[in-house]
Structures are given as structure tokens and as C-alpha cells.
Amino acid sequence: MLPHANARLTLISTPAVSDYDDTASTAAGIRWSGDVDAYFSTATRRAQTGNASDDVAVDSLIVDTTDTLAAPGDLATFTMDGAEHERAVASIVVRPAAAGLRATSKLTLVTT
């Protein structure tokens, strides 16, 4: 159990894929399903491009499991504040247990 959870992760799926824009897509697949504690947060990061810099919102979901949940491009479905959300995964980092801390996985989500 996470020390503080404000969300529940319920599904990781692979997105539907189409080889061509005018053909039917293949069905999405389920990579993982369950119901685990999660903590959703938004942080502001500075992104530098050439001589310009911008503040960018980066959303992440820390999950109470180290199972191989997702790969970049997968879709994470989670509930928060009584609503269901679906977001693409940009990256995943597994954090092993350390002194007094549980092992977790951090999913960085594509900002919409």
C-alpha cells in the first residue's frame, strides 16, 4: 500500500493499431488488469529547445506494484475523484525497495 493514494490503476492496454488510415484497426489488447493503489501528480518542468525554454506540465502515476505493467505507447486506465481516465504512457521506471520504502513503478503519462 502506498503511503498516500489518490487514484486506482485498473487497466493497461495496448492501443488499437491500423496499418493505413482507411482500414479497420486491430483491437486493443489487455497487457495488465487489476486494481492497485496509485498516486497521480503533475509537476512543472523546464523544457529547453534551442534558445527558447518553456514550462511543461508532466503528469505521472506512481503505482503500488513492480510488475512489468506497461510499455511506452500503452494506455493506462485509472480512476480518480470518482471519474475514469485513460492516458497514454510515455515511459515507465521501476523503483526497487529502499530503506523503509516499498518498491513502486512510475508511469510518466503523455500530457493531453
In this structure, is residue 54 part of a structural domain?
yes
In this structure, is residue 21 part of a structural domain?
no
Task: Give the chain's end-to-end CA distance (angstroms, integer).
Answer: 28
Domain count within the chain: 1
Residue 90's identity, in one-letter code, is A
In this structure, is residue 22 part of a structural domain?
no
Which of 28-32, 43-47, 87-91 is the most confident on average? Answer: 87-91
Are 107 and 66 spatial neighbours (Cβ–Cβ below 8 Å)? no
In this structure, is residue 1 part of a structural domain?
no
Identify the domain containing residue 52 by its residue range.
Answer: 7-15+28-109
Mean pLDDT of 71-98: 91
In this structure, is residue 50 part of a structural domain?
yes
In this structure, is residue 67 part of a structural domain?
yes
pLDDT at 24 over 60: no
In this structure, is residue 82 part of a structural domain?
yes
Contacts 24+ apart (CB under 8 A), 11-14: 11/75, 11/76, 11/77, 12/69, 12/70, 12/74, 12/75, 12/76, 12/77, 12/89, 13/74, 13/75, 13/77, 14/73, 14/74, 14/75
Q: For residue 78, list its beta bridge partners.
A: 9, 85
Quick one: pLDDT band at residue 44, thresholds 50, 70, 90?
A: confident
Q: What is the mean pLDDT of the chain?
A: 85
